[in-house]
A and B are shown apart, each in its own frame.
Chain A
Amino acid sequence: MAKAGSNLNLDGQGNPVWLLLELTYRCPLKCAFCSNPTDLAAHPDELTTAEWKSVIRDARDMGAMQIGFSGGEPTLRKDLEELVAEANALGYYTNLITSGIGLTRKRLEGLKQAGLRHIQLGFQSSNPETAHWLAGVDCYDKKLRIAREIKDLGFPMVLNVPISSLNIHQVPEIIALAADIGVEYLELANVQYYNWALVNRDQLMPTREALAMAEAQVADARKQLGDRMTIFFVIPDYYEGRPKACMNGWGSIHLTIAPDGMVLPCSQARTLPGLHFPNVRDHDLGWIWHQSESFNRYRGDDWMKEPCRSCTEKEHDFGGCRCQAMLLTGDAANADPACSKSPHHHLVREAVARAGATRQDHRMLIARDAGWHPTEG
């Protein structure tokens, strides 16, 4: 899932703090909201175990403390346990971001032994049929089983449920299911419209009314559940009028390594035309972070145009998301059109109106049809 940036109560003093490894783009699911590139089949050459270990060490030497193992589906890598053990030994807080498909009791035990701290499990719905529509394959029972195994082994767990028009009316049931599983955190993350989700935007975007109702239901649940479970409800920026403080700023604290070793300020950035992101196979990670043109392009605020340049909010939201500015306005240096001050904000309003006028029907969803990889055999 595309995220607005992690919850980091410190700055990296010029160094990366959060390292995200996209170990593979292969996945046993075909989610219609997937944030992987739509041309992902063009990047098949994954880093070796030794190359990943070297990245993990180099980033730790630069000051990174949080590490996420993501994908695609990271458990398709048979060396996942070995990489987690390496990261744990170096002092990282280790996070696994998984669909759960491909996990077994045995692998979970191996990951626990390797020092894995936390698991974020992606979940589509409280309803097996809806989950099937969204994920493109029948996976509900398997996911539920693995969720209970994760808790049985005592891992702290975030259940991450991307919210769209297809499941927003199920929010109370999703909360009840999460509470029943016993997760510490439930993240109801409104789908952000990049890559496959952008392809499906008209079908996925919920109405303002549905959002307001879901928000009220979340508030009720928080009162009832108290400290038992923390619920995050990530408002979609299309409706908010304010852009997200994407990645806490470009090249500020987040470092993403794509499966083929390309180094990115965020996992969406690979789709930005005109930027040539360096690869760990060709360059030193420290040089890439500090010196490379691509990491410096949107660092700080020298690159900003109006209205961002003179905006009092620029220290807080950094002009929003560069990738969204590119995707919707054709120039990544424009203000994120999710911002109501952007001269392109009408694009977002029009997209909302178009989705509202679309007859939303799950049969119209376009499944992610690349990089599919069965877990059996």
Chain B
Amino acid sequence: MADSNNHNSLPRFRIAPVFMFRWEESQQAFVLMYPEGIVKLNTTAGEILNRCNGLNTLNDIVLELSELFSEQPDFIEPRVRQFLEVCHGKGWIQSES
């Protein structure tokens, strides 16, 4: 895991309290549950949200995903950033500095 002490002021992401995020064995996927609703996430989306644990910054998530999917961080970064923006817009995640 990346050392996040070097960028204390950068936002860290976490799942918003209304939502419950976990692995669902019967679907073989990460799911996001909320009042009367469920979203089944694809592999990449699930791996990104799984790192929104209140500790990781964008950079941390990018580094971990680039390792996981064997891709360059430069390739991963805009995609992760865009997905986090979408999640933020949907109210799935919150950020704290």
Contacts and interface: CB of A to CB of B under 8 A. Distances in A.
Contact-residue bracket for chain B: 10 to 19
A63 B26 contact: yes
A158 B17 CA distance: 15
Interface in A64-116: 65-66, 68, 91, 93, 95
A227 B91 contact: yes
B35 A158 contact: yes
Interface in A195-246: 227
Interface residues of A, number: 25
Given A17-B38, A91-B22, A118-B18, A10 B33 contact: no
Contacts of B39: 9-10
Contacts of B20: 93, 117
Contacts, number: 58
Contacts of A15: 26
Interface string B25-49: 0110001011111111000000000
A15 B25 CA distance: 13
A277 interface: no
B24 interface: yes
B83 to A, nearest CB: 16
A24 to B, nearest CB: 21
14 contacts: A8-B38, A9-B40, A10-B40, A65-B24, A65-B38, A66-B37, A91-B24, A95-B36, A118-B34, A120-B35, A120-B36, A154-B17, A156-B17, A227-B91
Which are the 7 A-B pairs with shortest beta-carbon distances?
A: A63-B26, A93-B33, A10-B40, A7-B37, A156-B18, A118-B35, A6-B36
